[in-house]
Chain A
Amino acid sequence: EAQVTQNPRYLITVTGKKLTVTCSQNMNHEYMSWYRQDPGLGLRQIYYSMNVEVTDKGDVPEGYKVSRKEKRNFPLILESPSPNQTSLYFCASRGGRRELFFGEGSRLTVL
């Protein structure tokens, strides 16, 4: 089954404690992206990757890092999380059909 898998789905952490949210897709898509969803703001792009070792900033990259060492994986790294990064995060991938496929979401709370 074609899917985008994110882990963890739910996480509560404390300010400053590094964390990684993993994202994996099994559709051989070249393009992958991270979004955060906040009430009233819709989805805002954090980072995206056009292919392995190619990443670029989206609209709200501050406080986040990404890496793309393999085509299927695109982890999101919060080196020093802060409360304003409390949000719902979605990973997505895109292939030749030009639509985005989304993961189930990861709800992060930073205390």
Chain B
Amino acid sequence: AQSVSQHNHHVILSEAASLELGCNYSYGGTVNLFWYVQYPGQHLQLLLKYFSGDPLVKGIKGFEAEFIKSKFSFNLRKPSVQWSDTAEYFCAVNAFGYGQNFVFGPGTRLSVLP
């Protein structure tokens, strides 16, 4: 079965610090990878996605993620966080052969201090 792990439960940063959130998945075949963000009290919104091609993908609000197939990882990065980035971040995997089933990681809560 597929599984997704996220390295950190809660990350606390000051504004302008750099961010890297780890995500690893367990499936060995072809995957579609996603990062979603959930701002306080809101629904999940897509930050970025990887289907194929360039393993470095850029998303909204200055976020990017790198797919490293050999490490089964899809880490999210941002060079300089803002207070408005305070949110919960979810990594998700949709694996070929598993139909339409998305598997989400447990989430990482990011708190950015002004």
Interface residues, chain A, with chain B CB atoms under 8 Å away: 31, 33, 35, 40-45, 48, 50, 58, 90, 94, 98-100, 102-105
Contact B102 A100 (CB under 8 A): yes
> Quick check: B43 and A104 within 8 Å, CB to CB?
yes
Residues of A within 8 A of B104 (CB): 35, 42-44
Q: How many Å lie between the Cα of A94 and that of B100 in the bound state?
A: 9
Residue B22 at the A interface, CB < 8 A? no
- Are the C-beta atoms of A105 and B43 separated by less than 8 Å? yes
A98 and B32 alpha carbons, distance in the complex (Å) = 9
A103 to B99 CA separation, bound complex (whole angstroms): 22
Q: In the bound complex, do residue B43 and residue A90 qualify as a contact, i.e. CB atoms below 8 Å apart? A: yes
| Shortest beta-carbon distance from B4 to chain A in Å | 8
**Which of A42, A100, A105 has a CB less than 8 Å from the CB of B105?**
A42
Contact check, B43 vs A43: say whether CB atoms are below 8 A apart. Answer: no
User: Once the chains bind, are B43 and A41 in contact (CB under 8 Å)?
Assistant: no
- Is B80 at the interface (CB under 8 A from chain A)? no
Closest to A104 in B: B43
Tell yes or no: B73 within 8 A of A by CB: no
> What are 5 A-B pairs with beta-carbon distances under 8 A?
A35-B104, A43-B44, A50-B100, A90-B43, A98-B94
Closest 5 CB pairs of A and B: A42-B106, A43-B104, A102-B43, A42-B104, A102-B44
Q: A48-B101, A105-B43 known; A99 and B90 CB under 8 Å?
A: no
Taking a contact as CB atoms closer than 8 A, the residue among B32, B49, B107 that contacts A42 in the complex is: B107
